[in-house]
Structure 1
């Protein structure tokens, strides 16, 4: 049997051809999608949600079943309207600015935030509120109805939800999970905000293998899609 077990029954080609459509349908329904980037990049699978659909249960799934860092990725236009910087541009410390990443030119991290209606910001319901409100803020920002002053009234930093800034032209500029997820959201007609969280292997502590991630998707009825398919279709 092929290792590609996460898509619909049929040939590998048929399954891969349907994968993007399944992912788009899932996103429109507010469901998570498993996105594998590229074997020669991070080689990781992230659980990706449209940010506006994230609930406390979704945050629990991300920390229990994925185990990586829960981040909210915003489009370049939304982040610019809210004046959210790249974090390494704001840190005055010798550790900042020279990442020497083996898989990219720079970090996408912006500010870590909490919504002002949260308490500590870390419980599932607190993080879900911050994430869903980031989606609302991003949607308003790209419509021209929300700026840095509005953001400061609603959010405080530092906090417990890491914000990521996408490249300006998404997949044409960069092909990380930030851009892959936001390209899905754009094609699905959703606000420019998605949640990404890396899937880790409980036994090794390393990235969950692609085969194991596909098996997880199959067991839970979630869509699985490869990054190259998203680039082909949405890039």
Structure 2
């Protein structure tokens, strides 16, 4: 395939993903074969309902996380967990795929019950979208966050790198870059797609087939980098 044809394909895939995000639909994003080599099911956080959490549980199977940008995380007082954990397990970050983890802490919305049900997690996730917008506008801070959410909980928060894809190219940053480009709330849900038969990450071709069967947009990280950076 020529580079021109390749570029056209990347542009079309990214355009379709952006249109889907603006419509509140999930998309599939594969990062890079030489990184995690995983495909995540990615949602705009504000569009997530109980059925979406069920899909992530049943069809994806990975960890359900909400990614927030660095500036929003700063406003809300959300740290990187490896900066605050005082335990021998947190003393060395020997990740095979990156220099650090994006994990912050876990939360439940205070109106939830146990926090783990599809309904409870959807409540927590969807509420994080307007919170992120308000925090970015300087209208919501750590005290407000503590009044609405409790920790620990059942929704994992991820903190994006300060310059997103220029600093780090994980699913956290890929999803947040999509949200920025789509002009939607700066909060996205990511969940890894796993393979029931092998116990490994779902192969890219299988993830693409899943996207085709369900009418979801699929994009490679390389294509996103080419079009968004």
TM-score by length of structure 2 reads 0.96
Decide whether the 8 Å contact of 1:89 with 1:97 is kept in 2: no
User: Gaps spanning 5+ residues in structure 2: where?
Assistant: none
Structure 1 residue 90, shift from structure 2 partner: 1.7
Deviation per residue, 1:126-165 (Å, 9 max, x gap): 0000001111111100000000000000000000000000
| Residue in 2 that maps onto 1:57 | 51
Task: Give, in whole Å, the separation in 1 of the partners of 2:99 and 2:193.
Answer: 23
Task: Give, in whole Å, the separation in 1 of the partners of 2:57 and 2:199.
Answer: 14
| Residue in 1 that maps onto 2:15 | 21
Task: Give, in whole Å, the separation in 1 of the partners of 2:93 and 2:155.
Answer: 21
Please, which of 130, 139, 150 is the counterpart of residue 156 of structure 1? 150
Structure 1 residue 99, shift from structure 2 partner: 2.0
Deviation per residue, 1:7-43 (Å, 9 max, x gap): xxxx766543310000000000000010000000000
Matched, 1:90 2:65: no
Structure 1 residue 89, shift from structure 2 partner: 1.5
User: Gaps spanning 5+ residues in structure 1: where?
Assistant: 3-10
User: Secondary structure of the residue that 2:90 maps to in structure 1?
Assistant: coil
Deviation per residue, 1:204-229 (Å, 9 max, x gap): 11000000000000000000000011
User: Secondary structure of the residue that 1:214 maps to in structure 2?
Assistant: helix
| Residue in 1 that maps onto 2:132 | 138
Count of aligned positions? 226
- CA RMSD, 1 decimal: 1.3
Counterparts of residues 105-116 of structure 1 (less than 5 Å): 105-116=99-110
Structure 1 residue 88, shift from structure 2 partner: 1.3
User: Secondary structure of the residue that 2:89 maps to in structure 1?
Assistant: coil
TM-score by length of structure 1 reads 0.94
Decide whether the 8 Å contact of 2:10 with 2:227 is kept in 1: no
| Residue in 1 that maps onto 2:195 | 201
| Residue in 2 that maps onto 1:103 | 97
